Amino acid sequence: MVTMSDVARLAGVSTMTVSNVVNNRPGVSGPVRTRVQEAIRQSGYRVNTSARTLRSGRTGVIGLAVPEIGRSYFGLLAAHVIEQAGRLGFHVAVEQTGAAADGELDAIAHSHTLHFDGLILSAVGLDSRDRRLAEADYPIVMLGEQDYGGRLDHVAMPNEEGTRAATAHLIERGCRRVAVVTGGALEGVNVVTRRYQGYLAAHADRGLTPDPALRFAVTAMSPEGGRDAAHRLADSGLAIDGVVCVTDTVAQGVLRGLADRGLRVPDDIRLVGYDDIPEAAMMVPSLSTVAPDHRWMAATAVELVVGRIHDGGRPASEHVAPFELMARESTR
Amino acid sequence: MVTMSDVARLAGVSTMTVSNVVNNRPGVSGPVRTRVQEAIRQSGYRVNTSARTLRSGRTGVIGLAVPEIGRSYFGLLAAHVIEQAGRLGFHVAVEQTGAAADGELDAIAHSHTLHFDGLILSAVGLDSRDRRLAEADYPIVMLGEQDYGGRLDHVAMPNEEGTRAATAHLIERGCRRVAVVTGGALEGVNVVTRRYQGYLAAHADRGLTPDPALRFAVTAMSPEGGRDAAHRLADSGLAIDGVVCVTDTVAQGVLRGLADRGLRVPDDIRLVGYDDIPEAAMMVPSLSTVAPDHRWMAATAVELVVGRIHDGGRPASEHVAPFELMARESTR
DNA sequence: TTGTATGCGTTATCAC
DNA sequence: GTGATAACGCATACAA
């Protein structure tokens, strides 16, 4: 391995000068800088991150903890986070939490162990008011989860507003009996609750009260969970002409489950999701959905961690992503 | 930050003894070991990875370079790799290469810089015979790409065999004019070429020669690329009763594109993909596809890197994943 | 503008 | 079975 001393010897300077050149610091004359750069090129020198980290306490790596990287939504999010972090000179290590509070706490502990400079936590099981979260002594940004504590930086989705708009969209399209497929086991989770409230709010806005029987809880926030819910929905015999889904991933399964029962979308039932995953536009029928600005969210989250890495004392802030309602075939 | 010396002081031993306990080394008496463990627990000590790395040259992190983590297939793969690596005590850092040789070379360079212990490279733009790949002086495993060089460990997909089986499946279902939607810009890429050859082979097996006009090249290996190809396919006016797609991701777009033109699957045209991404079973109609064992691939790749980390001299080996043909609604 | 000394936390080596 | 010491490669503080 070629070290700074090697480069220094080659360029006829001290290691310190090499260090200054490598880190683009001022205080090195033009000729010397060029000579050092040439020596670096020739020798194929690469900074040793570990040594730098040991010395400076920075790793240049941001942790990203998501429930499951295999789910489109989180894959998409990760893609944006990795891209944005790269722009700011950081690398990203991905953790999978398995959508459980335990996994999320593990991610925090791991981050500590691995000396990530900061952590972006897409939490579903962990409440940001969790004591153990606040105990972490380094930058954490919560992503995609509604927060109340205000102790941590937060990039939230327009959960209530988005679902409200989605539900309103169905009603405006003429739906009179709108069902909602929402979280089951994850009942306590804010994102689920807030979206459900959006569904209620859209009804309330029009002086309506939805039939409680039209609320279907998934057993899992997955296509399989959605499919199962759709079966129950279809088999219930209830008159239903619209469905609001808690996520696109669930909506995928709902669409499939309705097809299983011979129900056509949008002819028999209209359907709307949340997230605008890449598949949404490609589904048959294409899925109407709430599209929060994912790139904005990723960029904001990265900026927040990086900002906090450089200035840990800054007060926590909360940001809500803008969104757009994508009206596609499933509600035509 | 609490260091080994802190623990050592607390336990009344030397740092070396603490190190031995932390690393589960022999040569520490029972009582002392217990005392040290207790001190670790009390103090909340965590090893400093950077220091350990600096000293030992190992980071405990494996790099995973994929074209786009946002695509289902790679997200799924990453999920499995992360899981398997965790099982063996390694963390995973994900790089995005953007499906370009440049990005892939960057990943190699980055790995070097960050001192990953090894790299799993899901290459599409880079040929494993590339000189620069072989120059890398640390463990690299190629994933999902057919190799000929034999210089690197390789976990390949059953590209030709899989597509051959998929094509045969269509023919057995009664299709007489089977089109293929294959790679365009990525023409030189092995995975695409091999799959196309599987399409040809299935025909040759039956003494058939497919009409060259039935070959449609996508402009991008994405749903959008597939959709566009489907439009051209439908607008060609050619009699086509089956389509073999190079990937499920492309097939998603093809299905969508056929729907755009009022063509129904499987009634008008049968469709088969490759990969068995999670969405395949949830699509309407559900997508028949070639299902390589992703978990097996991830596990094998991780074992290979880890094995090579411990024994760099071992000769390179090549492994081909088993697969299964999933017959679903799109070919019914 | 450039160089020297020192220490970050850990582990390999060797002495006890 | 345990401990003292040096060294990994880099960057901070300060001297020149």
Contact B93 A93 (CB under 8 A): yes
Walking along chain A (332 residues) 10 residues at a time, the average pLDDT comes out as 85 88 82 87 80 76 86 90 85 77 66 71 66 66 71 88 97 95 68 90 95 93 94 95 95 96 95 94 95 96 87 82 97 93
Give residue B282's pLDDT: 92
Nearest to B50 among A54, A83, A286 (CB): A54
pLDDT higher for B33 or A45? B33
3-state helix, strand, coil in chain A (%, to 5): 45, 15, 35
Residue B95 Rama label (left phi>0; alpha psi -120 to 50; beta):
beta
Q: Which tokens go with A169? A: 């969209």
Contact B93 A91 (CB under 8 A): yes
Give residue A116's pLDDT: 77
- SS3 assignment, position B11: helix
Q: Where are the alpha helices (DSSP H) in B115-189?
A: 131-135, 159-172
Q: Which tokens go with A54? A: 């040991």
Nucleotide C5's nearest residue (CA vs C1') is A16
Q: Where are the alpha helices (DSSP H) in A89-182?
A: 101-114, 131-135, 159-172
Are B284 and B109 contacting, i.e. CB atoms less than 8 angstroms apart?
no
Contact B93 A94 (CB under 8 A): yes
Give residue B136's pLDDT: 64
Task: State the best of A1, A53, A69, A115 to mutate against chain B, taking most chain B CBs within 10 Å.
Answer: A69
Closest to A151 measured CA to CA, from A310, A293, A308, A306: A308
Give the length of chain A.
Answer: 332
Nucleotide C12 C1' to residue A101 CA (A): 40
Question: Structural domains in chain A?
Answer: 4-47 (1.10.260.40), 58-156+294-323 (3.40.50.2300), 159-292 (3.40.50.2300)
Contact B255 A284 (CB under 8 A): yes
Return the bridge partners of A92, or none: A62
pLDDT digits (tens, 9 = 90+) for B126-173: 655 555 555 666 788 888 765 556 678 889 999 999 999 999 999 999
Give residue A272's pLDDT: 98
Contact B115 A61 (CB under 8 A): no
Strand C-proximal protein residues, Cβ less than 7 Å: A 12-17, 20, 27-29, 31-33, 51, 54-55; B 1, 3-5, 15-16, 19, 22-23, 45-48, 51-52, 54-56
Q: Which residues contact B186 (CB under 8 A, 6 or more apart)?
A: B99, B124, B125, B192, B221
Q: Where are the alpha helices (DSSP H) in B136-272?
A: 159-172, 190-205, 223-235, 248-260
Strand D-proximal protein residues, Cβ less than 7 Å: A 1, 3-5, 15-16, 19, 22-23, 45, 47-48, 51-52, 54-56; B 12-17, 20, 26-29, 31-33, 51, 54-55
Give the amino acid at B211: D
Give residue A183's pLDDT: 82
What is the distance in angstroms between the Cα of A124 and the nearest Cα belonging to chain B? 18
Are A292 and A163 contacting, i.e. CB atoms less than 8 angstroms apart?
no
Are A156 and A321 contacting, i.e. CB atoms less than 8 angstroms apart?
yes
Give residue B144's pLDDT: 77
Are A137 and A312 contacting, i.e. CB atoms less than 8 angstroms apart?
no
Chain C positions with any atom < 7 A from a protein CB = 1-5, 7-13
Look at A184-188, B229-233, B294-298 and tell me which has the smallest mean pLDDT. A184-188
Give residue A122's pLDDT: 85
Give residue A1's pLDDT: 73
Start-to-end CA distance of chain B, whole Å, equals 63
Are A36 and B30 contacting, i.e. CB atoms less than 8 angstroms apart?
no
Name the residue of chain B whose CA is nearest to A80's CA. B70
Nucleotide D14 C1' to residue A59 CA (A): 26
Give the length of chain B.
Answer: 332
Give residue A188's pLDDT: 56
What is the distance in angstroms between the Cα of A318 and the nearest Cα belonging to chain B? 26
Closest to B39 measured CA to CA, from B23, B18, B24, B16: B18
Give residue B273's pLDDT: 97
Q: Which residues of B touch A116 (CB under 8 A)?
A: none
Chain D positions with any atom < 7 A from a protein CB = 1-5, 7-13
- Mean pLDDT score, B186-214: 87
Nearest to B253 among A47, A95, A282 (CB): A282
Nucleotide C10 C1' to residue B60 CA (A): 15
What is the distance in angstroms between the Cα of A206 and the nearest Cα belonging to chain B? 34
Residue B138 phi/psi, 5° resolution? -150, 170
pLDDT-based confidence at B105, cuts 50/70/90?
Answer: low
Name the residue of chain A whose CA is nearest to B50's CA. A50
Q: Which residues contact B50 (CB under 8 A, 6 or more apart)?
A: A49, A50, A51, A53, A54, A59, A115
Closest nucleotide C1' to the C-alpha of A54: C8
Contact A92 B92 (CB under 8 A): no
pLDDT higher for A240 or B191? A240
The Cα diameter of chain A in Å comes to 85
What is the distance in angstroms between the Cα of B229 and the nearest Cα belonging to chain A? 14
Task: State the best of A62, A110, A279 to mutate against chain B, taking most chain B CBs within 10 Å.
Answer: A279
Q: Which residues of A touch B97 (CB under 8 A)?
A: none
Cα B17 to Cα A281, B35, B48, B151: the distances in Å are 60, 11, 16, 42
Q: Where are the alpha helices (DSSP H) in A184-247?
A: 190-205, 223-235
User: What interhelical angle do B30-43 and B4-11 show, nearest 10?
Assistant: 120
Contact A115 B50 (CB under 8 A): yes
Contact B95 A72 (CB under 8 A): no
Closest nucleotide C1' to the C-alpha of B46: C9
Contact B227 A69 (CB under 8 A): no
Instruction: Give the containing element (helix H, strand E) for B306.
Output: helix B294-310
Give residue B122's pLDDT: 85
Give residue B221's pLDDT: 87
Look at A75-89, B70-84, B301-315 and tell me which has the smallest mean pLDDT. B301-315
Give residue B291's pLDDT: 97
- C-alpha angle with apex B108: B107 to B111, nearest 5 degrees? 85
Q: Which residues contact B279 (CB under 8 A, 6 or more apart)?
A: A72, A223, A252, A279, B72, B248, B252, B287
Concatenated DSSP letters for B43-74? Answer: HT----HHHHHHHHS--SEEEEEES-TTSHHH
Cα A42 to Cα A6, A10, A46, A48: the distances in Å are 11, 9, 11, 17
- Mean pLDDT score, B31-54: 85
Nucleotide D13 C1' to residue B70 CA (A): 46
Nearest to A279 among B92, B259, B279 (CB): B279
| CA dihedral of B39, B41, B42, B45, whole degrees rounded to 10 | 80
What is the distance in angstroms between the Cα of B324 and the nearest Cα belonging to chain A? 20
- C-alpha angle with apex B160: B155 to B164, nearest 5 degrees? 140
Give residue A276's pLDDT: 95
Q: Which residues of B touch A74 (CB under 8 A)?
A: 75
Are A217 and A163 contacting, i.e. CB atoms less than 8 angstroms apart?
no
Model pTM?
0.81
Give residue A148's pLDDT: 53
Contact A113 B255 (CB under 8 A): no
Look at A171-180, B49-58, B108-117, B296-305 and tell me which has the smallest mean pLDDT. B108-117
> How many cross-chain Cβ pairs, A to B, lie less than 8 Å apart?
146
Look at A251-265, B117-131, B254-268 and tell me which has the smallest mean pLDDT. B117-131
Give residue B195's pLDDT: 92
Nearest to A223 among B61, B82, B282 (CB): B282
Q: What strands lie across the sheet with B178-182, from one edge to the other?
A: B215-217, B178-182, B242-245, B270-274, B288-292, B323-326
